[in-house]
Amino acid sequence: MLALALCHIPMALAVCDETTSLADHVCKHVTDTWQQGGHDLYLPVYTYHIRSAHTQEELDSYREDTLGLGYGRSRYNESGDWEGLYGMAFEDSHSKLQYIAGYGYQWMWGEQDSLHAGLGYTVFLTARSNISHYTPVPGILPIASINYRQASLNATFVPPYSKGNGNLYFFWARLGF
């Protein structure tokens, strides 16, 4: 599913108009990121469930060492901010595969060739076994990163979205090549 979606991105990007509509603005950012961006390897690292938001029984059943892999393309735009397109698959808190593909934007502080940090957002589609058995669901979450050259450690907060789900921090590494 993820590979199929990533393969169709170049064809979908060919339809951007040169108008000033929001859709065309978004299309241009996505197109430029795909065409000008470098390759990225995504490595999901860890999921931290907020202890006060979950019962001990829930915590005992959750997986926190996140195993998975992903691919993306990213670039620093003319403003020095980071933009990326990505797809990942990883084991969720219930040890079931979760898929996610999306676009991220971070406002950056610091020099790109040394230590720098970013804050921004990601807009995505995700599919999980416990949400209508892998029916894709859209979402938007905040992201933060600490970066050194082409390597970064990233985090997001997933708010509660149903009983026993959410209230967690998700961490992943991104390595540019």
61 is catalytic: no
DSSP letter at 114 equals S
49 is catalytic: yes
Catalytic residue chosen out of the listed positions 40, 54, 74, 93: 93
79 is catalytic: no
Catalytic residue chosen out of the listed positions 40, 54, 74, 92: 92
What is the torsional sign of CA 46, 51, 52, 53? Answer: positive
Closest to 75 (Cα-Cα) out of 105, 100, 41? 105
What is the torsional sign of CA 117, 108, 2, 62? Answer: positive
Distance CA 85, CA 40 (A): 9
Catalytic residue chosen out of the listed positions 49, 74, 145, 152: 49
Q: 64: number of CA atoms within 13 Å, CB side? A: 11
Residues known to be catalytic:
49, 92-93
